[in-house]
Structure 1
Amino acid sequence: MMELLKHLWPNFTSLTLGTTEALSAWFWIVMATIAAGCIVFLLLDWFRFKVRMRALGSLLEGQNRENLALNRRETLQKALTLKSTGIGALWREFDDSLVSSSDHKQLFNTLDAEQFFNPRTLASGLTSSRLLASLPGFLVGLGVLATFVGLTIGLSKLKLDSHAGVEQLRSGIDVMIQGAAVAFMTSVWGVFFSLLLNFIEKLVERFALSQIHALQHRIDSLYQLIPAEQSLVHIADYSRESKEALQELHERIGDRLQENLAGMGDAMQQAMTDALNNIMAPAIQTLISTSSQQSTQMLEKLVGNFMSGITSAGREQGNLMQQAAADVNAAVGGMTARLNQLSHTLSDQQTRQLEGSQQQNRQFEEQLGRIASAAEQSQQQTESRFNELMTDLTSQLNSQLGSAQRRDEERQTMVERLLAEASASQSALLDRVTNSSREQLQALSEAGNQRHDNLEKMFSRLMTNLNAQLDSQMGAAEQREQERSLRHEHQQASSFAQHQQQVSALAEASAAQQHALEETVGKLLNNFGEQMAGQGQQSEQREQSRQQRFNEQLESMTMQQQELLKGIASAVQVTQQQSRQMAEQHQQLMGGLQQASDAAFASSRHMDNSANQLGLLSTNVRQAAELLGQRLESVTQRIESAGTQNAQLATQLNSQAEVLAKLQQALLDSAQRFEQAAGEARNGFGEMRSHQQEFLIGVRGEFTALGEALRKQVEGVEQQAEQWLRAYAGEVRQQVHERMDQWNKETLSFANTMHAAVQAISNVVDELEAH
C-alpha cells in the first residue's frame, strides 16, 4: 500500500528543475491550494453560522409560553445588543409580526418562523454559494488538463526516426513515461480533491439545514401561530359585545350619579357643623392653660441645668488639665530614658559587629585554605588522568598497527598462493600479470610497514576509519582474485582465444582496481592531511578563545568588585542620611512637645473663659503624646534594622574582597598551566604534520609509478573493448527499435482506454453536479 502511495505522491524536490515531475508537482500544488482554500472558506462560513445559531439560542434560552409576553422587551433589547451581524435586525422583524393576547400574558405569531429564520438568512455562504458548488468540477477540469498536457509533452519528446540512436530513444522513452505519470497522477489527484471537497460541502450543508429546521420547530412551538381568519372572528365577537354593553351603560351611569350628588351635599354640611362644635372649643381652652404652665416650668429647668452644667464643666476641665500636665511630664521623662537606651544599644551593636567581622574573616581564611587544597588535588587528578589517556592511546595505536601489518601479511601470502596455482596453467602473459600483481602487493606491504613506522602518534579514530576502508578494498580484491582463479581452472581446456579474453579481462579489472585504489588512497591521505591541519588550527583557536575568555572574566570580576564597593558606599551614605533625618525629626518632636506644654500651662490660667478650648487642648496633648511614643518606637526599630544591615554589608564586603583576591591568584596560576599545555600541544602537532607530509610524499611517488605501469597494460585492452561495444550497440539498437514499435502500439491502446475512462469520469461528475 505504501509503495502505491509513493508512486502517486509527487516529487517536490524537482520544483525548480523544469522537468515533467516539476510540472506534476506544480499541478498538484495548485489543486491542493484550491481545495484547501475552499475548505478554509467553508469552515469560516460554518463558524459564522454557528455564531448566529448560538446568538439565537441565547435569545430563546429560558423562554416558555407563560413568560414570553413579560420578557418581550428584554429579549428585543438583548437581540439588538448582540455582536453577531444581522441577528438584531432579523429578530426585530420577527418581533413586529408578534401579537399579544387581550390580557397581555401570551404572545402569538402571525407568520411562520421559516419566513424569517431560513438557510438564506442564516447560512447563505453554505447553501447559496454558486462558486463553492462549481469548484469540484473545476478541480476535475484541472486534472483532465494536466492529463492532456502530460501526454502531449511525452509524445512530443519521442523521436522514432531511423537516425535516432540508443541514447535518444532512451531519453524519449523516459520523457514519455514521465509525461504519462504526470497525466494520470494529476487526474487521480484532481478526482480525489473534487470528491473530498464535494463530500465536505454536502456534509456541512446537511448539518446546517438540520440545525435551521430544529430552530424553526423550536420557535413555532414557543410562539403559537394565529391565522388572519381567526383574528377577524374574534374582532367581530368583541365588537358585538362592546356595542351591547355600551347601550346599557350610559343609562345606569346617569341614574347613579344624580342619587350620589344629592346625598353627598346634605351629609357634608351636617358633618362639618358637628365637628366644629364638639372639637374645637374645648381644645382651644386646654391648649391655652397647658402652654402657660409648661413655659414657666421649662424656663426654670433650663436655668438650673445651665448653672449646674457650667460648674461641673469647670471642675472637669481643671481635673483634665492637671492630668494632662502629669502625662506630659511623664512622656518627657520616658522619651529621655528611651534616647539614652537607644544610644547604649547602638554602641553595643557596633562592638558586636566588629567581633562578628573578625570571626568571619578567620572563617573565610580557613575556607580559602580548604579550597586551595581541593584545587591542588583536582590538578593532580587531571594530570594523572591525562597520563592514563596518553598511555591508552599509544597502546591502542600499537595494537591497531600490529593488526594491520598482520592482515597485510596474510593477504600477501593468500594472493601469492593463488597466483602460484594459476601460473601453472597460463601463458607467459599470465606470468607477467602475476609478477606485476606480486610487485604491487609487495609495494603495498612496504607502504604498510612505512605507515607503521610513521603513524605511531596518530589518533585512534582516524586510524580505525582508514583501516576499515583498506580492509573493505582488499577484501574485494581478494574476492575478485579468487573468482578469476576459479574461472582459469574451469576453462583450461578451452582455446587460446578464451585465455586471451580472460587475460584481457583480468588486466582491465586489475587496472580499474589499481586506479580505484590509487584514487581512494589519495583521497584518504588528502582528507587525513586536511583533518590534521584543521585540528591544529582548531586547537590554536580554542587556546586563543580560552585566553580571551579568561581576560574577559578577569575584567568583568574587577568591574563587579568596583560596582559592589560603590553600592556599599552608597548604602552607607543612605543610612547616615536616614539617621540624620531621624535626629532632626526627634528635635522637631521635642520642640512641638515643649510648645504643647507651654500652651497647656497658659490655658490653665484662663480656665474660666475658655472651658471648651481647654477640653479640646487636653485631648490634643494626649494624642500628641501617644503619637510621639509610636514614632519613637518606629525610630528605634529602624535604627536597629539599619545597624544590622550595616553589619551584614561590612561582613559581605570583607568576604567578597578576600574571595576575589584568592580567585584572581588561582586564575593566574591556571592561565600559566594552560599556556604550558598549549605550547606542548602545538609542538606535538608540528611534529605530526612533518611526519604526515613525509608519508604522503612517499605514497604519492609509489602510486605514480604503479599508475604508469598499469596505463600501458590498459591501452591494449581498450581496443578490444571498443570492438565489443560496437557489436553490443548494434544489437541494442535493433532490440530497442523492436521494443519501441511494441511500446507505441500498447501506448495508443492505453491512451484510447484512458480517454474513455476520462469521458466516463466527466459524465459521473456531471451527474453528481446535477444531483
Structure 2
Amino acid sequence: MKDVFLNLLPDFSSLFQLHEDGLTALFILILFAICVYCCSYIFVKKRSSIHKINSLVQLFQKYKDQDVYLQKYEFEQDISAIRDLKTGELAKDYKDTLIFNSQDEKVYSSIDSEYYFNTETLASAITHNRLLSSIPSLLVAAGVLGTFVGLVTGLRGLDIHSDEIEVLKSGIGQLVAGISFAFMTSIWGVLLSLILNFVEKSVERSITTKIDNLNGLIQEIFPAITSEQNLQKIANNTEESKEALQELHEKLGSTMQEAVRGLSQGLEEAITVALNNVMKPAIDSLITTTQDHSTAALEGLIDRFTDGLHSAGKAQEMQLRAAGDTVNQAALQMGTELKSFLEVQQQQATQISEQEQARQEIVNQQLAQMREQYESFLQSTSESEKAQQEVTARLLSQHEALLTQLQNVTETMRINGQHLDNSSNQLGLLSNNLKQLVDSFNETLVHVAQNVEKASEKNNEVATLLDSQFDALAEISMSLKETCNVLGRSAELANDGFKNLEEHQTKFLDDLGNEFAGITDLLVGEVDRLKESVRESLIDYNEQVTNQIADRFKEWNTQTISFANNMSKIVATIGDLVDEIEVKSKYSGKF
C-alpha cells in the first residue's frame, strides 16, 4: 500500500533533467502550484467575506434585544462606523428601506434583507467568480492533456519495424515511461481538481450559511411587512384620510363661506367708504363746478348778448326816430315849398300852360311815386323794425330755450351725479352691476354729447338766423340805396322844371342819403359787432363747456377704469380661491 502511494509521487529530484520523470515532475508541480494558489486565493477571500459578515452580525446582534425605534440615531451611527465602505453602503441602503412605524413604535422591513445581503454582494469573489469555478475543470483538462502528451511521446519512441530485440526493448521502455507520464498527470490533475473543488464548495457553503444566519437575524430584528399588509394599511389610511378630508372640506367650506362673507362685507364697506370718501366729493365737486361754470358762463353770455341787443335796439330806435323826424320835416318843408311853387306856377300858367300841365302831370306822377316810395319806405322801415324786434325776441326766446336746455343738461348732469352716487353705493355688488354702471355711464356720455351737439346746432341756428337777419338788413340797405337812386332820378327829372325845388330836393336827398347811409353803416357795424360778439361768446362757452365736461369725464373714466381693474383682480383672486377649494374638494372626494 505504501509502495502504491510512493509510486504516485513524482520524482522531484529529476526535475531539471530532460527525461520523462523530470517532465512529469515539472508538469505536476505546475498543477500543484495552480491548486495551491487557488486555495490560497479562496481562503483570503473567505477571510474578507467572513469579516464583512461578522461586522454586519455584530451590528444587528447589538440591537437584537433593544428597541431600534428608540435608538434610531445610535443605529445610524453604528452603520456609519463600519470600516468597509461597500458593506457600509449596503447597510445604509437597507436602513433606508426600513419603516419606522410611529403607531406601535416598531421598525419593519419593506424589502427582504437577502436583496442587499447575499453571496453576490458579500462574497462575489468566491461564489460568483467564473474563472475560479473553471479552475478544477482546467486541472482535469491539463491532466488529460498530459495523458495525451505522454502517450504520443511513448508511441513515438516505439519502433515496430525494427527486428532487434534491444531496439524493441528500448521502444517498449520508452512507451511505458510515456504511459507512466500520461497516467501520472491525469491522476494528479483529477486529484488536485477534486481538492480544489472540495475547498471551493466548502468555503462557499460556509459563507452561504453565515449569510443565511445573518439574514435570519435581520428578519428577527426587523419583521417583514408584506405587500398585502401595505395595501391594507394604505386602504385603511386612505379611508381615514377620506373621512378627515371630508371633515376638513366641510370645515374649510364653512370657514371659507364665513371668510368670503366677511371679505365681501369688508370689501363692500371698504368700497363704499372709499367711494364716499373719494368719488362722492369728486363727483359733487365736478357737478358743482360744472353747474357753476355753466351757469356763470351762460349768465355772462346772456347778459352780454342782452346788453348788446338792448343797446343795438335802442340805438336803432333812436336812429329810426331821428330819420323819421327828418323825413317828416323834409316832407313838410317840401310840401310847403311845393305849395308856394305851385302858386307861383299858377301865376305863370298862362305862358307855359301846356308845358306846365305836362310837367305838372310828370311832377304829380313823380310825387305820387315818391309818396308811394316814401310810404313803402316807412312801411318797410317799420316792418324792418318789427322784424328786428321779432328777431330780437326770437333770439331772446332761443337763448332762453338754450338756457333751458343747458339747465336741462345741468339737471341731467345732476341726475347723472345722483345716479353715479347711487351706483357708488351699489358697488358692493360690483361683479353683477359694474357692467350696467358702465353702460349707464356710456349712455349718459352719449346723452351729454347729444345735448352738446344740440346746443351746437342751436348755436348754428342762431348764427343762421343772424346771417338771415344780416341778409335782410343788407336787402334793406340795398332797397334804401335803390330808393335813393330813384329819388335821385326823380330829382334829376324835376330839375328842369323846378330849379328852386332842385336846391331843396338836392339838399333833402343829400341829407336823407347821408342819414340813411349813416343808419345803414351803423346798422351794419352794430350787426357785425353783435354777430362777432355772439359768435365769440358762443365759441368760448362751447369750448369751456366741452373742455370742462371732457376733463371731468376723462378723470371719472380713468378712476372708473382703475377701480374696475382692481375689482376685476379681486374677483379673479376670489375665483381662483374658489377653484382651488373645488379642486381640493374633488381631490378629497377621490380618496
TM over 0.5: no
Per the normalisation by structure 2, the TM-score is: 0.40
Per the normalisation by structure 1, the TM-score is: 0.31
Rg bigger for which structure? 2
